Structure 1
Amino acid sequence: MSKVRAIYVWLTSLNINKLSHPLKNPKVGYTMFYLMKIKERLGNYSQLFNRMCNIAGIPCVVIHGYLKGNTYEIGQKLDIKTHYGEWNAVLISSQWRFVNAFWGACALGSEKAVNAAQYKPDENYFVPDPQHLIHTHFPEEEKWQLLEDPITFKEWEEKAYLKERFFELELRLLSHQECEITTENGEIEMMFALPKKRAKDLKFMALVYMKEFNEWKILEDKKVQHDFIHVPIAEALVVKLRFPKRGIYRFELVGKDTTITEKNYDFDWVAIYKIKCEQAASPYSGFPRVGAAGWGPNNDHRLEDLGLTPLKHTQGMIFAKDGFTKLRFKFEEPELEDLQLSVKMITVKESLDEVPTETEGIRVESHDKHVIDIETTPGEESAACVFALVEDKTYGSVEVNICNYLIVSFPIDEITLKDIESTRKTLLLAIEQKKLDLLERAVDIVETKNYERHMPKETDTARDLIARLRNIQRLMHDVLALDNRVFAEIRSYPSPIPEIHDVMKAALLLLGNFEEETKYWDNVQALLGKIGKESIKRRIALFDIDTLELDIALGARKMLGNLLIDNVNQASAGAATFYVWIMGVIEEVERRNYKVIDNTFPRTKRQKK
């Protein structure tokens, strides 16, 4: 890894535009020969990276394929002539990893002063996750996708256009997996999962463009926003978009991590979509244009910085029965009882500056809560923009926007009821299939849409299953993380104590080796010593608990008998790790089959035909 890293850093930090041509033409195959070829637009980074790796004795190949780069238009059909590209795969610790040194050469400073620009490596293109790179790189040879489930070229063309910042911020798509979207009612809702530990530090904005005469024109209005971005729960971002008329639109989500303070760091593209609006709502109604705090109490740190915590209404959207609702903010510091709050109620018909702040209906309850009574016109959407009077060192007392809510006063309509039922079906299907990624996505959508109250039992079942599957996954990773020396130690016993033999017999039974093959220790040693596709680690990594039959799981339990973890641990810490994984798998299979477990007999031997 260190050699590959050194080559990547050197190559991507080099400003090739500043290189002077040597007096003598460099010899073919030398580094300077390739650098001059790149400068003259007759060579490329992948060929030079490949050459340098070969010189260093590192296995490396050049991959040929398609790229979604600067010339890519969302949703277009790609051809090899216009979108051809090359990148590398390099063998690191017996595993092929990707490198794109050309995309990794990140220029800093003025674009005009090309020769004066500084370069630094872009870490997104040094050994990226294949699941990430596939969004922009498609190899001609399927094997170089390095994916368990390779995708077709058509699937790649239609795949959502996710940029580097999407993966930097550790986002996940909860909706709209394809780059082109069609709406028949002039509105769409998009959902993204946020990383739990970083969510509160991430900030996003939406840019909406309309195509007019083959040019993209940004939609701007002093009174109306075409986007509604809020964080309904701590780990989800929701973007609602409304379009003023029939046409083709481009939606760009940009974002950043507010904890990063580097000079050149700012908002950057997260995801880009092309949207076809078949029919806009008539009359058109966007969203009220609110203050700098954005939508909802979780969009900014302003409430937190003031020492206020929202009660009940923790989302950016509030459904108000008959147009009435209350906002409550709890505080701990006694001096905050004197904090002066105010509110502006606006619709799409007026701008924030045209409406005065109001203090009527605002009070303190129980010496620890600020309460704001909200009254809106039934059947309308409006925005409650909350302000606080704070002291500024330069300007003295100023009103600062601390949060904003979209108030929706009409009841649940038929479309929402259908969406609730559709979400329930998706959740039940995920529970039935017992796939961790599907379950996590389904629960995220339920929480994001605030539908849990409509399906509490199903949501609890899904969360319980997620916890169990994560536990199985963790136990499997513990086994895979064992050093090869641990496996060598277990194999080295000429005649191990029974505890180790029983544990390894049970593990191999789960993997498909019956008792006839593992009764004798020398057979177990041989199975543990296999390499490549038949290695014990690879078999465990590919193990699918969904295919394990109950009688086999019960057979593994029978093999372990009354063996306890403490007994195994005294004999071998490595065998104890296997024991914990085996018991986790057995208990999960037993739990799934509790209705028939009493009528199922343990099986440890191969069934006779």
Structure 2
Amino acid sequence: MGCGGSKSTDTVSNGKSKEKEEDYLQEPENDPVDLEDIVVGYPPPKPNSSRKEHIFTEKDKEAGDSRAKQIKVEDYPSLDDLARALTEGLKNDVQKVRAIFTWIGLQGSNGSGSKDKNNNNQDSMSPQAVVQKVIQRKLSFNFLFTSLCRAAKIPCVLIRGLGKSVSYEVGDQDVDRLNNSWTAVYVSGGWRFVFPLWAFSAVVGHSKGTWTLVETQGKGTREKEEASSGRTISHINEYYFLTEPDEFIYCCYPNDSKWQLLAKPFTKQDFTEIAYCRQRYFQNHHRITTPAKCFYQSANGVCDVGIKRLGKEDCVYTYELYFNHEQSKATLPAEIQLEKYVAILNEGKSVRFRVRFPSEGIYKLLIYGDDSLLCEFKIQCDEDVDNVKPFPCNPESGFGPSTTTEEAGLKAKSHQSGVISIKKTRNVNIRFNVTKNVLVQTVLLQNNVAQETLSQYVNHKVKNQELDINVDLPQQGEYALQINTKDKESGGSFTNACNYLLTAENMNRKQRNYENALEKKIRKNLQECTNSGKLEELQKALDDFDKVDLEDKGDRQRAVERITFLRLRKELKDAIARRHGEKLEEAIENAKQSKYEENLQNKIREAEELLAQLRRLNRFAHEVLKMQQPTISEIHNYRHPKPLAYEIMKATYILLGEEEGRVEEWEQIQALMRKQGKEGLLRRVRLFDTVDVTENMVNSAAQLLRDYDEERATNVIDEVMNASDESPTESKTSEPAPKKKK
């Protein structure tokens, strides 16, 4: 299935040979009408300092979409006339590009371009003829979009490279056949991606017929996909309008690495190996917590894939497991029903899918979040799996505390992880705070022992709003503990609140009642390191403790909890030191979702204040960066600027580090504005950071602007930016020049 919302187009003929079908999400390598990929004089490609939400507002969307809906293709004889009608009078280039984008999408969705007007005298390059050719796939969407943008004086380039579209299958190593092309437009001071074809088309119901669904939600099945070419639909997919470069690279790789628009470009191997993530993965802010690769190899018949959602909103994760009946060397035994071979392990906001493989072969794991496909992984198991067994159960809510647990009236107090490893001792104690008036039921399960037999090995009691559960395992092996609740007042049946996977090892080894001198030293060192709070030393002490396999008398658990706290604190400190917005968001989120939120409150507050400051800085910098170099030249050419314009420029340069004596006169400011490259104004604003600003600099700038409010300053900036698109007069002043007649 490709990024454009479709599956691979290679079909199987007679189960052996493959026929290559047309990839409807792949643009032709060349259009019949020549169009330069790039125009000489365009700004060079480089990473942006702001994201889509900073430059594209709801007002921009409404303005562009409203204009697009008013324009009829048959009313305009040329693309130039059409571009002028679509963009004239709109406030900024983002709105203009939006109007062009939406208008093209509407032509496909309402089918206007496919109507035969029976006009033999129609110009072959009229808008109506071009739209018709695009919909008939005789011209590319890129050609129409690029032509209209350039006609509207908006820089637009055609980018050629590789795109994971219809013919891509997760884990494919041969990506050279994925030739495709897309565009980038220069708006708000930077290049932004637009992929018209993927925005306006999708292929649904396409399948190569090589996969069999074998497990979903803990239930076994054998649903073999049928080969199908699917069908192409027209729609408008907002995701491929001004797509973020750090997301776009997951599915599109340009031949020229500069057009990745990334500070650290991907290699072709990176592109081939990177996880296959869909747009909902990015839109809903998910992160893969295991290696972000599309191909995994099992170890001892097991493979873990982890994911989490950033932010406060919860997410219900589900999955589907497939078996490739063509690529796999072995066939899946008919007697094996794959149920309970995938477990969901809850780890706070993170979830880990643990997959066990009862047979060698090629598998595919699909992960969904709130019913939307997020990502896919190809997993190979090529080892002996005779000892691989299913889990004792596979509850829908997974193993470990989750939002379901708290809704059921329980809050985990002792064990936050869904897997509890028990060594030597047979007993484990699990505690919860009881937050609702509920009855509790505990059930112990094992694959080879009846539930009734195991009931004597688990008991619980509730006292002072605390639930205390004791499990005394009868023998080694893997067990599942189910904890169910029901309301005392309303009655009804018990519902599952929480589950734990218990793994018991080395229980048959004789227990010692003493420790030798070395073991005592290791235990004491762990206790001391736990108290000292030095992360690296504590981790080493814990590793030493585990190597000699000492019994946990509470020392190990305290050390583990201390390490978790220290790591969260370090993550906050590092993010603050780096002043990186995304790292700050992630560190704050991780700290808030932990049980140490109260202990970390000071660091969390510091990180939140810095994040808010950086966001304000980005917003203010964006307003300046919306100006293009011609705008800077326009201001520079003023002989007698308005006082406010002069004061704003003087304050700007003071905050950028210029001494007040070097910006006293307008001529001095003009000299600074003439500088290009590293000393250019826009570059300096883009790299600006408040960490370099002193109190004196702030006071000087504030003194200059003390008599003005934000509204007056904004009016002057808008006036200057509007004037930059207009004709200059012979003698420059700060008054705007009259518009050219069109």
Question: Quick one: structure 1 residues 231 and 520, their matched pair in 2 at CA, closer, same or farther if it must change by over 3 Å?
Answer: farther
For 1:106 and 1:392, the matched residues in 2 are separated by: 54
Contact 2:101 2:145 in 1 (8 A): no
2:140 to 41, 44, 64: 44
Cα distance, 1:251–1:21 mapped onto 2, change above 3 Å: same
Say yes or no: does 1:316 pair with 2:429. no
Are residue 64 (structure 1) and residue 64 (structure 2) matched? no
The within-5 A match list for 1:181-196 is: 181-196=296-311
Q: Distance in 1 between matches of 2:590 and 2:362?
A: 30
**Deviation per residue, 1:252-282 (Å, 9 max, x gap):** 22222xxxxxxxxxx3431222334464677
Q: Secondary structure at the match of 2:492?
A: strand
Q: TM-score with structure 1 length normalisation?
A: 0.68
- Where do residues 6-405 of structure 1 align in structure 2 (5 Å cutoff)? 6-11=102-107, 13-14=109-110, 19-24=114-119, 27-54=123-150, 58-80=154-176, 82-105=177-200, 119-198=234-313, 200=314, 202-214=315-327, 225-234=340-349, 236-244=350-358, 247-256=361-370, 267-277=371-381, 279=383, 283-298=387-402, 301-319=403-421, 322=425, 323-332=427-436, 336=437, 339-349=438-448, 361-366=459-464, 368-377=465-474, 379-389=476-486, 397-405=492-500
Alpha-carbon distance, 1:5 to partner: 4.3
Encode CA deviations 1:274-331: one digit per residue, 9 max, x unaligned.
3344646773245333233333332xx5444444433343443334573412242422
Aligned residues: 531
Do 2:446 and 2:479's aligned partners in 1 also have CA atoms closer than 8 Å?
yes
Give distance in 2, aligned partners of 1:55 and 1:566: 43
CA distance in 1, matches of 2:489, 2:241: 45
Post-superposition offset of 1:166: 0.9
Q: 1:480 aligns with which of 621, 628, 632?
A: 621
Native 8 Å contact 1:476 1:541 kept in 2: no
**CA gap 1:19/1:447 in 2 versus in 1, 3 angstroms:** same
Distance change (3 Å), C-alpha of 1:33 and 1:479: closer
Q: 1:476-555 maps to which residues of 2 (within 5 A)?
A: 476-481=617-622, 492-493=642-643, 507-509=655-657, 513=658, 517=662, 522-524=667-669, 526-527=671-672, 534-543=679-688
Matching residue's letter, 1:72: Y
CA contact (8 A) 1:385 1:401 kept: yes
C-alpha distance in 1 between matches for 2:123 and 2:308: 52
What is the one-letter code of the residue matched to 2:173? Answer: K
Change (3 A) 1:120 1:477: same
Gaps of 5+ in 1: 257-266, 578-609
- Does structure 2 retain, via aligned residues, the 8 Å contact 1:476–1:540? no
User: How far 1:129 moved relative to its partner?
Assistant: 1.1
- Render the CA deviation track for 1:184-217: whole Å, top value 9, x for unaligned: 444443333412222x1x1212333344441698
Cα deviation, residue 404, structure 1: 1.9
Change (3 A) 1:147 1:416: farther
Q: Which amino acid aligns with 2:275?
A: A
> In the alignment, is the contact (CA less than 8 A) between 1:251 and 1:274 conserved in 2?
yes
Which amino acid is the alignment partner of residue 205 of structure 1? T
For residue 450 of structure 1, report the CA deviation from its aligned partner: 9.2
CA contact (8 A) 2:328 2:360 kept: no
Aligned to 1:587: none
Contact 1:431 1:462 in 2 (8 A): no
Question: What's the secondary structure of 1:50's corresponding residue?
Answer: helix
SS in 2 for 1:313: coil
Q: Does the aligned pair in 1 maintain the 2:457–2:471 contact within 8 Å?
A: no
CA contact (8 A) 1:7 1:52 kept: no
Which string of whole-angstrom CA distances, capped at 9 and with x for unpartnered residues, describes residues 349-408 of structure 1?
A: 4799x9998996233312x34443333356533221222346999xx9333223322234
CA contact (8 A) 1:253 1:270 kept: yes
TM-score norm. by structure 2 comes to 0.57
Q: Percent identity?
A: 21
Question: For the structure 1 residues 495 and 476, does the alpha-carbon distance in structure 2 shift closer, same or farther, using more than 3 Å as the test?
Answer: closer
1:468, 1:204 → 2: CA distance?
A: 32
2:656 partner SS = helix
Q: CA RMSD in A?
A: 5.4
Counterpart code for 2:267: T
Amino acid corresponding to residue 48 of structure 1 in structure 2: L
Q: What residue number does 2:552 align with?
A: none
Tell me the secondary structure at the aligned position of residue 672 of structure 2. helix
CA 1:221/1:311 → structure 2, altered by over 3 Å: closer, same or farther? farther
**Alpha-carbon distance, 1:441 to partner:** 10
Task: Determine the C-alpha separation between the residues in 2 that align with 1:21 and 1:416.
Answer: 77
Among 470, 483, 486, the alignment partner of 2:611 is 470
Find the counterpart in structure 2 of residue 606 from structure 1: none
Alpha-carbon shift at residue 144 of structure 1 (Å):
2.7
Bigger CA drift: 115-124 or 55-64?
Answer: 115-124
* Contact 1:224–1:288 (8 Å) recurs in 2: no
Distance 2:150 2:646 in 1: 45
